[in-house]
């Protein structure tokens, strides 16, 4: 019986095989290392989200919603060696479009700008019915409805106390947002109407009847005429229908 000789591979072939195996191992290792060192896009968005929420001035009952522009699928930033830093470059406290700078300062340094829109949706006060100019606002004149605050450039009111007793400078339609800018302080003294005139202080105060010669709100200076002497004087409106002379 004849035993066959073992098959021997040429040394050059073995070396090529070894090099190929080492090259494949190196590529796999580099691929894994690269995957570990790529910055997670979710961490970028989370950092930007934190900066936006911190800068917004959200009312107590507001619902905050954030929409981010998608990051590029080709984005391959080196993983940051420390916590990301983020600051708003463009952001209104009431919401709207924003631009946030997200920066890495540890290890590899880079910066990225994240865009999006913030919406603060909160109940605001609207006219419950058509209201003519000069209306002194009462609870029945107002109602609540949720609106995006950044879409109300004319202003808005969140609490009835901010509007009750004030008078409208302009007519409003039912469902229209009642802006504090559209209101004025109530008139405590009206032109041509009777007023009480006071002079002096404490037990020495004297009260007289008079006629208002101008309109006046709280603490306003108005002209009045003494109903008895017909003398014209100036005083300060201290209460509805009351003017203190000598102020």
Question: Does 40 have pLDDT greater than 50?
Answer: yes
What global pTM score does this model have?
Answer: 0.65
pLDDT mean over 68-89: 91
**What pLDDT sits at residue 72?**
86
Alpha-carbon gap, residue 219 to 235, rounded angstroms: 9
Of residues 6 and 52, which shows the higher confidence score?
Answer: 52
Q: Is the pLDDT of residue 91 over 60?
A: yes
In this prediction, residue 33 carries a pLDDT of 46
**What pLDDT, on a 0 to 100 scale, did the predictor assign at position 106?**
77
pLDDT at 168: 95
pLDDT (0 to 100) of residue 191: 93
Highest mean pLDDT among 35-44, 103-112, 200-209: 103-112
The pLDDT tens digits for 110-164 are: 999 999 999 999 999 999 999 999 999 999 999 999 999 999 999 999 999 999 9
125: burial class by Cβ within 10 Å (0-12, 13-18, 19+)? buried
Which residues on adjacent β-strands are paired with residue 212?
224
């Amino acid at each position: 019986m004849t035993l066959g000789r073992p098959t021997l591979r040429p040394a050059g072939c073995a070396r090529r095989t070894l090099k190929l195996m080492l090259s494949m191992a190196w590529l796999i290792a580099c691929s894994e290392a690269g995957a570990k060192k790529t910055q997670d896009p979710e961490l970028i968005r989370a950092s930007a989200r934190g900066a936006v929420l911190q800068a917004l001035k959200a009312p107590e009952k507001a619902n905050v919603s954030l929409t981010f522009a998608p990051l590029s699928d080709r984005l391959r930033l080196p993983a940051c060696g420390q916590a990301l830093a983020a600051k708003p470059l463009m952001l209104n406290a009431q919401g709207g479009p924003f631009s946030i700078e997200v920066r890495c300062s540890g290890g590899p340094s880079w910066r990225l700008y994240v865009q999006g829109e913030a919406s603060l949706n909160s109940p605001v006060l609207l006219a419950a019915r058509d209201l003519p100019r000069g209306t002194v606002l009462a609870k029945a004149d107002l109602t609540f409805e949720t609106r995006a605050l950044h879409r109300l450039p004319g202003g808005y009111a969140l609490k009835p106390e901010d509007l009750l007793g004030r008078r409208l400078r302009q007519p409003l339609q039912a469902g229209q947002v009642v802006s504090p800018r559209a209101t004025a302080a109530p008139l405590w003294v009206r032109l041509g109407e009777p007023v009480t005139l006071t002079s002096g202080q404490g037990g020495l105060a004297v009260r007289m009847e008079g006629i208002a010669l101008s309109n006046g709100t709280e603490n306003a200076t108005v002209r009045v005429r003494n109903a008895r002497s017909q003398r014209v004087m100036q005083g300060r409106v201290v209460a509805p229908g009351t003017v203190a002379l000598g102020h």
